[in-house]
């Protein structure tokens, strides 16, 4: 019988990928199926390096006769073949199943990956496995800033660099689903030679995604790059004639963020400004630098101007503070939007 390899303490919340892969008893704890699948794949890959013929045995504790199936999976077969036992739905485990898992981890010849969705139900199970020194692989649903950290880790694991702006851009293009983000990171690294990856390279790769042109146009407006504003706007509209509202919304969002950052107290930290202004922390420094180039009255006029343009691309005309019941066609709305963007850039110094 092979003694269990030394494992990370269950008290350590962030076991590394390498530690998880090498452990003989892993608790994949959290509700994200993709992250749990990754844990299983990493353990299987590590096991097959040492023994390419190692067997995978799956046990679902919600199925019929789960205790018998678990005991059988954790027991050696007649040929003494090595195995990795994948136990799903561990929150359904009873006392006998918990005992079987703990005993197999301490004394058995198999490697274990126990998948538990966390939460209130089945907490007794997860607590028992933690106490038995299972290596904890966090598989919680990721959101907010954790998604940015996830993207950064993906590129690091792929041995490539990406600028913070490129990672934010990727998130805008692909969304927050970790499975999609992981696939996108791998595809970019495979197909794009830039190192580090830049927003431009990500934009070029995802040029068919509706949110990307809006981000580019907004960035060009805030940076005062008139030629780029026109080029990006017309390129976006050529690819999607109905993109006008998305472009105006992206620029309006950027202008509001610029206004909030410009109005923030001078001594406020980047984190405080980001929270108050609703912008990513890594963008605060750039936005502060941009704000220095905007006259306050020009910034106020720009916010009004883009609001009028937004109405125009949605088919409404605005006359002063009035919104007459006048319909604009798509070409008229596009003209108003382009004029507004150029005026905003040209007048930003007041």
pLDDT at 76: 82
Q: Taking the mean position of all CA atoms in its chain, how far away is CA 120?
A: 26
Do 201 and 217 fall into the same domain?
no
User: Among all chains, which residue has been given the structure tokens 């981000």?
Assistant: 215
Q: At what angle do helices 330-346 and 226-239 cross, to 10 degrees?
A: 160
Do 223 and 334 fall into the same domain?
yes
For the chain, what is the radius of gyration of the CA atoms? 27
Domain boundary at 205, 238, 253, which? 205
Residue 290 is assigned to a structural domain of this protein: yes
CATH code of the domain covering residue 151: 1.10.8
pLDDT at 132: 95
Do 23 and 97 fall into the same domain?
yes
Do 100 and 222 fall into the same domain?
no
Residues 6+ apart with CB under 8 A from 238: none
Residue 280 is assigned to a structural domain of this protein: yes
Residue 2 is assigned to a structural domain of this protein: no
pLDDT at 11: 37
Q: What is the pLDDT of residues 308-337, one digit of tens each?
A: 998 888 887 776 555 555 567 778 888 999
Do 299 and 276 fall into the same domain?
yes
Q: With helix as H, strand as E and coil as C, how does the chain read?
A: CCCCCCCCCCCCCCCCHHHHHHCCEEEEECCCHHHHHHHHHHHHHHHHHHCCCCEEEEEECCCCCHHHHHHHHHCCCCCCCCEEEEEECHHHCCHHHHHHHHHHHHHCCCEEEEEECCCCCCHHHHHHHHHCCCEEEECCCCCCHHHHHHHHHHHHHCCCCECHHHHHHHHHHHCCCHHHHHHHHHHHHHHCCCCCECHHHHHHHCCCCCHHHHHHHHHHHHCCCHHHHHHHHHHHHHHCCCCHHHHHHHHHHHHHHHHHHHCCCCCCCHHHHHHHHCCCHHHHHHHHHHHCCCCHHHHHHHHHHHHHHHHHHCCECCECCECCCCECCHHHHHHHHHHHHHHHHHCCCC
CATH code of the domain covering residue 288: 1.20.272.10
Residue 3 is assigned to a structural domain of this protein: no
Do 126 and 84 fall into the same domain?
yes
Do 244 and 268 fall into the same domain?
yes
Domain boundary at 99, 116, 138, which? 138
pLDDT at 78: 65
pLDDT at 2: 42
Residue 5 is assigned to a structural domain of this protein: no
Q: Which residues are registered as beta bridge partners of 137?
A: 28
- Round to whole Å and give the CA distance between 56 and 235: 51
Do 116 and 150 fall into the same domain?
no
Residues 6+ apart with CB under 8 A from 94: 67
Q: At what angle do helices 296-313 and 244-262 cross, to 10 degrees?
A: 160
Do 112 and 169 fall into the same domain?
no
User: Among all chains, which residue has been given the structure tokens 């050529």?
Assistant: 238
Q: Are 27 and 126 spatial neighbours (Cβ–Cβ below 8 Å)? A: yes
Q: Are 107 and 19 spatial neighbours (Cβ–Cβ below 8 Å)? A: no
CATH code of the domain covering residue 125: 3.40.50.300
pLDDT at 206: 75
Residue 7 is assigned to a structural domain of this protein: no
C-alpha to C-alpha distances, 28 to 17, 183, 229, 335, nearest whole angstrom: 12, 21, 47, 55
- Round to whole Å and give the CA distance between 1 and 75: 12
Closest to 151 measured CA to CA, from 177, 121, 117, 122: 177
Tokens linked to 206: 């995802």
Domain boundary at 112, 138, 164, which? 138
- Round to whole Å and give the CA distance between 228 and 234: 10
- Round to whole Å and give the CA distance between 149 and 14: 13
Residue 35 is assigned to a structural domain of this protein: yes
How confident is the prediction along the chain (350 residues), in pLDDT tens digits per residue?
A: 444 444 433 333 457 788 999 999 999 999 999 999 999 999 999 999 989 989 999 999 999 999 999 999 999 876 667 899 999 999 999 999 999 999 999 988 899 999 999 988 899 999 999 999 999 999 999 888 889 899 999 999 899 999 988 998 888 778 888 988 998 899 899 888 888 999 888 877 776 665 666 878 888 899 899 998 998 888 888 777 888 888 999 899 889 989 998 888 877 888 888 888 777 777 788 888 888 899 999 999 999 999 999 888 888 777 655 555 556 777 888 899 999 999 999 988 76
Q: Are 116 and 122 spatial neighbours (Cβ–Cβ below 8 Å)? A: yes
User: Which strands make up the sheet holding 55-60, listed edge to edge?
Assistant: 55-60, 83-88, 111-116, 25-29, 135-138
Residue 4 is assigned to a structural domain of this protein: no
Do 259 and 303 fall into the same domain?
yes
User: Among all chains, which residue has been given the structure tokens 């509700």?
Assistant: 31
Residue 178 domain boundaries: 145-205
Q: Are 323 and 316 spatial neighbours (Cβ–Cβ below 8 Å)? A: yes
Do 232 and 218 fall into the same domain?
yes
Do 123 and 180 fall into the same domain?
no
Instruction: Give the number of domains in the chain.
Output: 3
């Amino acid at each position: 019988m092979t003694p269990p390899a030394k494992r990370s303490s269950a008290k350590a919340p962030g076991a590394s990928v390498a530690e998880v892969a090498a452990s003989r008893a892993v608790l994949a704890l959290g509700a994200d199926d993709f992250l749990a699948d990754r844990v299983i794949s990493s353990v299987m890959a590590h096991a097959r390096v040492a023994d390419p013929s190692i067997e995978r045995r799956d046990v679902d504790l919600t199925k019929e006769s789960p205790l018998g199936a678990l005991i059988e999976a954790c027991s050696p077969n007649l040929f003494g073949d090595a195995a990795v036992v994948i136990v799903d739905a561990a929150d359904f485990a009873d006392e006998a199943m918990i005992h079987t898992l703990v005993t197999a981890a301490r004394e058995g010849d198999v490697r274990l990956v126990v998948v538990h969705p966390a939460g209130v139900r089945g907490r007794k199970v997860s607590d028992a496995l933690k106490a038995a020194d299972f290596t904890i692989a966090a598989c919680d649903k990721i959101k907010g800033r954790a998604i940015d950290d996830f993207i950064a880790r993906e590129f690091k694991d792929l041995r490539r660099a990406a600028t913070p702006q490129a990672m934010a851009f990727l998130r805008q293009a692909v969304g927050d689903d970790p499975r999609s983000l992981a696939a996108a990171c791998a595809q970019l690294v495979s197909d794009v030679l830039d190192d580090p990856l830049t927003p431009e390279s990500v934009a070029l790769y995802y040029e068919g995604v509706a949110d990307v042109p809006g981000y580019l146009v907004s960035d060009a407006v805030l940076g005062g790059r008139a030629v780029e504003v026109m080029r990006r706007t017309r390129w976006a509209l050529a690819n999607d004639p109905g993109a006008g509202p998305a472009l105006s919304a992206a620029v309006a969002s950027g202008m509001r963020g610029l206004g909030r950052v410009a109005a923030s107290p001078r001594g406020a930290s980047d984190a405080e400004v980001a929270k108050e202004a609703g912008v990513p922390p890594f963008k605060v420094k750039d936005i502060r630098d941009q704000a220095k180039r905007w006259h306050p009255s020009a910034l106020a006029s720009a916010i009004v101007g883009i609001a009028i343009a937004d109405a125009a691309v949605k088919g409404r005309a605005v006359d002063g503070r009035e919104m007459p019941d006048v319909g604009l066609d798509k070409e008229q709305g596009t003209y108003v939007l382009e004029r507004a963007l150029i005026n905003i850039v040209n007048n930003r110094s007041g």
